[in-house]
């Protein structure tokens, strides 16, 4: 199984959220990059890449696109 980058960020907190969103959709995800192994306490790090299996890349991109365009919870409550 070859892993490919679906996105990259510079914040471990955001990387963890993205990984969680992908995993909730049934997509295995891995955070890879500078400082990922020493991720806590959270903060700014070097580039962190979120990797997914190559055969799930299209689905992962779709999941992230839907997540980025979904309304905030605060907006739903109003």
Tell me the C-alpha distance between 31 and 67, whole Å. 18
pTM for the full model? 0.75
Query: How does the average pLDDT of the chain come out, rounded?
Result: 83
Banded model confidence at residue 69, pLDDT cuts 50, 70, 90: confident
Domain ranges of the chain: 3-56
Question: Could you count the other beta carbons within 10 Å of the beta carbon of residue 72?
Answer: 8
Residues 47 and 1 sit within 8 Å (Cβ to Cβ): no
Tell me the C-alpha distance between 60 and 56, whole Å. 6
DSSP 64-78: HHHHHHSPPHHHHH-
The tens digit of pLDDT for each residue in 27-50 reads 999 999 865 555 455 555 578 999
CA angle 8, 13, 18 (to 5 degrees): 50
């Amino acid at each position: 199984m070859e892993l490919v980058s679906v996105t990259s960020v510079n914040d471990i907190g955001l990387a963890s959220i993205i990984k969680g969103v992908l995993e909730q959709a049934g997509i295995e995800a891995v955070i890879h990059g500078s400082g990922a192994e020493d991720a806590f306490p959270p903060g700014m790090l070097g580039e962190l890449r979120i990797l997914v299996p190559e055969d799930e890349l299209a689905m992962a991109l779709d999941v992230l696109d839907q997540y980025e365009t979904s309304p905030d919870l605060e907006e739903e409550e109003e």
